[in-house]
Amino acid sequence: MLVIFGGLPGSGKTTTALSLAKRLQAVHVRVDTIEQAFRDSDMLKAEVGPAGYMAAYGIAEDNLRLGRTVIADSVNPIGITRNAWLQVAKRAGTRAIEVEVVCSDKVEHRRRAETRVTDVEGLVKPSWDEIVNRTYEDWGGRQIVVDTAYKSADDAVAELVALLEREVL
């Protein structure tokens, strides 16, 4: 299956996605890592546009065709990217489940965003102002929502695994 993560930077999305990938022994495809690799290549220095997402779609589809579970990790802020992920699963003939990670406590979200250290060398994290002012479209209610404000990553993943088990059955 393809588990499509999305959520604002600092919401706990990558922490949750990584923990779920470990628990499921799934492939973790992270757009931030791909985009930074493009910047490091000297081919795309600043704005990478859709290139990171396009590469991630291809990597995810290859792994889905191998029968692997794939965890797609990106901000996934607009309908176009969300629909593109759904098309990846459709082409691979597998199920897609969308997961939006939120941090409902704005003070905690801001603290996380302003204190986190990058784990991708060279990646510059967005400022709080950039996070709250970015385009981020409503998901339309088709997603599983995981609120990380008042729970550990382990608790969030346990909740998500239980929800995924219900979705898959």
Among residues 86, 76, 75, which one has the least CA distance to residue 1?
A: 86
Q: Chain-wide mean pLDDT for the chain?
A: 92
Contact between residue 64 and residue 2 where contact means Cβ atoms under 8 Å apart: yes
Full-model pTM: 0.92
For 57-86, what is each residue's pLDDT tens digit?
Answer: 999 999 999 999 999 999 999 999 999 999
For 81-109, what is each residue's pLDDT tens digit?
Answer: 999 999 999 999 999 999 999 999 999 99
More confident residue, 117 or 46: 117
